[in-house]
């Protein structure tokens, strides 16, 4: 159990001393997860709104597909994205393999079904009377969409947090698509995997605690935001 | 007569292939107050949602100010507003709920004043209520805030769906006063779906009856639901809760048919029995007397075994008969005057 305490102390030391390798991994993690969560929210919220709001034929099977994709294994996504981004793959010309944008593409695929599924649930749980209320006030289609989203904001926020947690903590995509290149594509989770392989449990625990601290800060910010709105 | 503000033609609306509403023709004059009366499930809320441009009819057209309109029509969406039956507020403060529609319209200049005026109109002082969140209100207050949000828009048409059904008497009174006052000041058209017959007779220029999705009559007809049972010979009858029987001289089209007796076909009197009406005699208790807005006549609601009958009396007749709520009265009708819906 000593290495957990050692890890805790080492985490404080790493953060306090401004260890460049640690901060490089933190920077890579924050950047890549921000790219992917941004992209998945931009695409996923409108799609989730449509899935939850409208009734159309094939809605139920589509919902089942989305729910299934919420459990996509990260190594499988990593494998697929690797296959597309490698030089022999269809997107090989873009040179995205072993880059942060490459990891972000994989993480977006990971987060998108979560954002779509939880947004659809949030929109489905809106009171049916909301639509009547908004329309009776004279809203046009765009205002109806925005106002409905605003009413579902707490559910959407919960979906965004769940997706953010998933992309922050995944290893498979970052490892396979990013390659765990020091100073470049090494994220906190791939660094933890590496340190553990090297037998540096203390360092691994320290990086894990740093990851937890980042997640804590994000949740505190969201919780504050939620109280304000 | 002015051009109707609403013209409804050959309207049909269905849910899951079941026809909820089928109206051939329905006009509403501008600045008038129209009441819609009908039992639960008769299609009142659906009609108001269609007139409020919330839903598109399955078939038929709705014209507003002479132009065909549909949901999101720019010609109408800022002029018509609907207050739904169940109070509903968005997850924001009272102020933001009332100002929501004004912001949609881009009326940003005098929002504070209009919100304060609207809240005052429904008896909710702005200083006490404007900052309250949506969940910190009683049912009656919620309904009044919802009404204030509509009144702040200064609409040309205000559609009220059972506005007083789920609130206490004090809130109901405030809602009635606020909606009527706003309509008088704005010259707006008011269409009210309600079970509150007294209120509708008192304030409406026109009352229509809606039953099984069809509009008919003036809303003052006596509607009697089946089942009807064969009595003897040609006579059919319906037994009421107190054992009295409504008798018909002709068989109904089907045993559960709905019969209509016009108020003018019934004579109500406290005098002794008249023999010329044969089997068409009932005895009941005067429940309400209501002065009608348009005819200056008095509508009397007579309860016969829990079934309300409406009769019309002149002021002189009420005085001569010495009618008052609680008094026993005999109703005479001709079984031949019964019509079928």
What backbone torsions phi and psi does residue B212 show, to the nearest 5 degrees? 50, 40
- Are the Cβ atoms of A136 and B86 closer than 8 angstroms? no
What's the confidence (pLDDT) of residue B277?
55
Question: Does B209 lie in the same domain as B333?
Answer: no
Whether the pLDDT of residue B80 is over 80: the answer is yes
A207 inside domain: no
Contacts of B90 in chain A (CB under 8 A): 130, 133-134, 147, 151
| B52 vs A130, A136, A147: nearest CB | A136
Q: Which residues of chain A have pLDDT under 50?
A: none
Q: Considering only alpha carbons, which residue of chain B is nearest residue A139?
A: B104
Contacts of A133 in chain B (CB under 8 A): 84, 88-90, 146
B296 inside domain: yes
What's the confidence (pLDDT) of residue B1?
62
Question: Does B156 lie in the same domain as B23?
Answer: yes
Residue B105 burial (C-beta neighbours within 10 Å; 0-12, 13-18, 19+): middle
Nearest CA-CA distance, residue B202 and chain A, Å: 27
Q: Checking phi first, is residue B308 left (phi over 0); if not, alpha (psi -120 to 50) or beta?
A: beta
- CATH number at A127 reads 1.10.3720.10
pLDDT in tens, B199-221: 887 788 888 888 889 888 766 77
Say if strands B259-261 and B245-248 run parallel, antiparallel, or are unpaired: unpaired
Residues 230-289 of B with CB under 8 A from A: none
- CATH number at B297 reads 2.40.50.100
Nearest CA-CA distance, residue B49 and chain A, Å: 8
Q: How many CB atoms lie within 10 A of CB B117?
A: 17
Nearest CA-CA distance, residue A132 and chain B, Å: 6
Domain span at residue A153 reads: 27-200
Q: Considering only alpha carbons, which residue of chain B is nearest residue A132?
A: B54
B1 inside domain: no
Say if strands B33-37 and B206-211 run parallel, antiparallel, or are unpaired: parallel
What's the confidence (pLDDT) of residue A2?
75
Tell me how far apart the alpha carbons of residues B259 and B261 are, in angstroms, rounded to a whole number: 7
Report how many domains make up chain B: 2
- Are the Cβ atoms of A138 and B78 closer than 8 angstroms? yes
Report how many domains make up chain A: 1
A183 inside domain: yes
Q: In what order do the strands lie in the sheet with B235-239?
A: B229-232, B235-239, B245-248
Q: In sequence order, what are the residues at sequence separation of 6 or more whose Cβ sits closer than 8 angstroms to the Cβ of residue B232?
A: none
Give me the residues paired with residue B190 across strands: B33, B158
Question: Does B232 lie in the same domain as B84?
Answer: no
Over residues B49-70, mean pLDDT = 94
What is the number of alpha carbons within 13 Å of residue A202 lying toward its C-beta? 12
Domain span at residue B182 reads: 6-216
pLDDT in tens, A9-47: 887 888 788 889 888 999 999 999 999 999 999 999 999
pTM for the whole structure: 0.77
- Are the Cβ atoms of A137 and B149 closer than 8 angstroms? yes
B90 inside domain: yes
Domain final position from B186, B216, B246: B216
Tell me how far apart the alpha carbons of residues B293 and A143 are, in angstroms, rounded to a whole number: 41
H or E element, residue B146: helix B139-151
H or E element, residue B117: helix B111-121
- Are the Cβ atoms of A130 and B90 closer than 8 angstroms? yes
What's the confidence (pLDDT) of residue B232?
78
Q: How many CB atoms lie within 10 A of CB A146?
A: 12
Q: Cis peptide leading into B56, omega within 30 of 0?
A: no
Complex-level ipTM beyond the 0.95 threshold = no
Nearest CA-CA distance, residue B234 and chain A, Å: 51
Tell me how far apart the alpha carbons of residues A205 and A191 are, in angstroms, rounded to a whole number: 11
Contacts of B145 in chain A (CB under 8 A): none
Size of interface A-B (CB pairs under 8 A): 55
Tell me how far apart the alpha carbons of residues A103 and A83 are, in angstroms, rounded to a whole number: 13
How far, in Å, are A116, A168, A169 from residue A162 at the CA level? 12, 10, 11
* Contact in structure between B199 and B278 (CB atoms under 8 Å): no
Question: Does B69 lie in the same domain as B181?
Answer: yes
């Amino acid at each position: 159990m000593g290495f957990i305490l050692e890890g805790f102390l080492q985490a404080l030391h790493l953060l306090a001393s401004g260890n460049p390798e640690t901060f490089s991994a933190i920077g890579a993690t924050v950047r890549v997860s921000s790219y992917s969560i941004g992209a998945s929210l931009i695409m996923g919220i409108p799609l989730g709104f449509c899935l939850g709001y409208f009734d159309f034929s094939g809605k139920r099977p589509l919902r089942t597909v989305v729910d299934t994709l919420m459990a996509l294994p990260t190594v499988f996504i990593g494998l697929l994205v690797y296959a597309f981004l490698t030089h022999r793959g269809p997107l090989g010309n873009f040179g995205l393999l072993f880059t942060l944008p490459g990891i972000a593409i994989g993480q977006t695929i990971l987060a998108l079904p979560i954002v779509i599924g939880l947004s659809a649930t949030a929109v489905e749980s809106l009171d049916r009377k909301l639509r009547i209320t908004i329309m009776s006030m004279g809203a046009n289609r765009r205002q109806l969409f925005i106002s409905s989203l605003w009413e579902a904001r707490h559910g959407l926020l919960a979906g965004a947090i769940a997706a953010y947690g998933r992309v922050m903590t995944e290893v498979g995509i970052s490892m396979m698509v990013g390659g765990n290149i020091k100073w470049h594509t090494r994220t906190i989770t791939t660094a933890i995997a590496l340190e553990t392989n090297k037998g540096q449990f203390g360092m691994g625990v320290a990086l894990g605690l740093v990851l937890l601290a980042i997640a804590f800060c994000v949740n505190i910010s969201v919780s504050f935001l939620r109280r304000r709105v | 007569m002015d051009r109707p503000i609403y013209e409804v033609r050959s309207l049909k609306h269905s849910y899951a292939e079941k026809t909820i509403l089928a109206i051939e023709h329905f006009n509403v004059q501008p600045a008038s107050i129209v009441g819609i009366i009908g039992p639960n499930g008769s299609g009142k809320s659906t009609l108001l949602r269609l007139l409020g441009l919330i839903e598109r009819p399955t078939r038929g057209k709705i014209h507003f100010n002479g132009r065909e309109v549909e949901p999101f029509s720019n010609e109408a969406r800022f002029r018509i507003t609907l207050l739904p039956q169940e109070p509903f507020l968005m997850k924001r403060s009272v102020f933001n709920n009332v100002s929501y529609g004004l912001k949609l319209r881009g009326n940003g200049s005098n929002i504070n004043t209009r919100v304060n005026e609207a809240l005052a109109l429904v008896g909710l002082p702005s200083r006490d209520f404007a900052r309250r969140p949506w969940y910190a209100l009683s049912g009656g207050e919620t309904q009044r805030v919802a009404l204030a949000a509509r009144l702040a828009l200064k609409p040309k048409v205000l559609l009220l769906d059972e506005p007083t059904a789920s609130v206490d008497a004090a809130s109901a009174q405030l809602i009635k006063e606020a909606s009527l006052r706003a309509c008088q000041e704005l010259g707006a058209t008011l269409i009210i779906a309600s079970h509150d017959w007294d209120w509708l007779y008192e304030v409406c220029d026109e009352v229509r009856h809606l039953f099984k999705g069809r509009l008919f009559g003036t809303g003052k007809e006596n509607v009697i639901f089946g089942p009807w049972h064969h009595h003897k010979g040609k006579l059919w009858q319906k037994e009421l809760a107190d054992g009295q029987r409504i008798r018909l001289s002709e068989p109904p089209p089907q045993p559960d048919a709905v019969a209509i007796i016009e108020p003018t076909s019934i004579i109500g009197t406290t005098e002794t029995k008249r023999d010329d009406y044969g089997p068409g005699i009932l005895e009941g208790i005067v429940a309400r007397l209501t002065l009608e807005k348009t005819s200056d006549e008095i509508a009397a609601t007579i309860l016969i075994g829990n079934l309300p009958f409406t009769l019309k009396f002149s002021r002189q007749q009420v005085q001569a008969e010495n009618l008052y709520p609680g008094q026993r009265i005999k109703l005479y009708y001709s079984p031949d005057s019964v019509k079928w819906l």
